Amino acid sequence: MADSRCSATRNPFTHTETPAVSVAIEDLSKSFGKLEVLKHVSFHVEPGEIFVLMGPSGSGKSVLLKHIVGLELPSGGRVTVDGRDAAAEETREQIRLALVFQAGALFNSMTVYDNLALYLREHRVADEAGIREKVMRALQILSLEAAAEKYPSELSGGMKKRVAIARALVMEPQLMLYDEPTSELDPVMAATISEIIATLKDQYHVTTIVVSHDRDLALNIADRVGILMGGQLVFLGTRDELRASADPRVVDFLNPKIDLANPRFKQLET
């Protein structure tokens, strides 16, 4: 495989470089009461790579992502970011990570500009002039300058996703996590968002984890792919290995067949 990974993350605002971070999921299990959601899952995300985590609905993808940002605690096993416990307060202080939520989680009462400035103002990262420079640079990277004074309700679905990505970018992340970044988008916009994720990784070498159902995204931009089914990792490999996989679970997942004899479709006919 041509190695597109890189060991240093370049800050998009200051252009300084910091070592890219890695993520290790080691024998991770998670239960909610009697429901076993994750069962002994292990994989590593290498510094500066795009790792795409796929799997059917309810297979535990979002729960796994929440462990990496410390929003859930393991029932068994360990999750570490650069060797540090993902849930520890000190890890939050030392490693900047940004999660792009599925629904974008933008504040509807604020303009795009203020949505991006919020984190910087709360963390007193810079004075207003410094904040303006950063916000406008992030909007420029995502080709959103014209949307600065718009409210989220005035934006298309694709633009909202781009604003959510721009807002993550102003946090100057060393680790970017995306939950379903292309869901609810038409194929052209979904491909654009995939390209943006790949471009951010290529230009800034940010370690990137994407949770997605989007087969095209995985096959086009992933360095490596993991597939979760029933809480277990049934595939781990490069996108070329994914394409070549003969495992029936993987083949069926990537090429779902619609069973017209299924009673659900019969009901639709009547």
Report the interface residues with ligand ATP, using CB under 6 A. Answer: 32, 35, 37, 55, 57-63
| Chosen from Mg ion, ligand ATP, none, partner binding at 239 (C-beta under 5 to 8 Å by type) | none
Helices 128-141, 112-122: axis angle to 10 degrees equals: 130
Give the nearer residue to ligand ATP in terms of CB position, either 63 or 165.
63
What are the two backbone dihedrals, phi and then psi, of residue 163, each rounded to the nearest 5 degrees? -65, -40
| Chosen from ligand ATP, Mg ion, none, partner binding at 21 (C-beta under 5 to 8 Å by type) | none
- Report the nearest approach of ligand ATP to the CB of residue 63 (Å): 4
- Report the nearest approach of ligand ATP to the CB of residue 137 (Å): 32
Query: What residue spans of the chain are helical by DSSP H?
Result: 61-68, 89-94, 112-122, 128-141, 157-169, 187-204, 215-221, 239-244, 248-254, 263-269
Residue with the two structure tokens 């300058």: 145
- Report the nearest approach of ligand ATP to the CB of residue 14 (Å): 34
| Chosen from Mg ion, ligand ATP, none, partner binding at 91 (C-beta under 5 to 8 Å by type) | none
Distance (Å, rounded) from C-alpha 37 to C-alpha 74?
11
Give the nearer residue to Mg ion in terms of CB position, either 172 or 179.
179
Give the nearer residue to ligand ATP in terms of CB position, either 13 or 43.
43
Distance (Å, rounded) from C-alpha 65 to C-alpha 88?
15
Q: Checking phi first, is residue 193 left (phi over 0); if not, alpha (psi -120 to 50) or beta?
A: alpha
| Chosen from ligand ATP, Mg ion, none, partner binding at 181 (C-beta under 5 to 8 Å by type) | none
| Chosen from ligand ATP, Mg ion, none, partner binding at 80 (C-beta under 5 to 8 Å by type) | none
Chain centre distance of CA 3: 21
- Report the nearest approach of Mg ion to the CB of residue 154 (Å): 27
- In the shown chain, the binding pattern of residues 57 to 76 toward Mg ion, with x for contact by CB under 5 A and - for none, equals -----x--------------
Give the nearer residue to ligand ATP in terms of CB position, either 53 or 197.
53
**Tokens representing residue 31 in the block:** 């239960």
- Report the nearest approach of ligand ATP to the CB of residue 38 (Å): 8
Q: Are 171 and 98 in contact (CB under 8 A)?
A: yes
| Chosen from Mg ion, ligand ATP, none, partner binding at 32 (C-beta under 5 to 8 Å by type) | ligand ATP
Q: Are 62 and 37 in contact (CB under 8 A)?
A: no
For the beta carbon of residue 124, count every other beta carbon within 10 angstroms: 8
- Report the nearest approach of Mg ion to the CB of residue 101 (Å): 10
**Tokens representing residue 92 in the block:** 């939050």
Give the nearer residue to ligand ATP in terms of CB position, either 63 or 193.
63
- Report the nearest approach of ligand ATP to the CB of residue 66 (Å): 8
Q: Are 20 and 207 in contact (CB under 8 A)?
A: yes
Give the nearer residue to ligand ATP in terms of CB position, either 76 or 130.
76
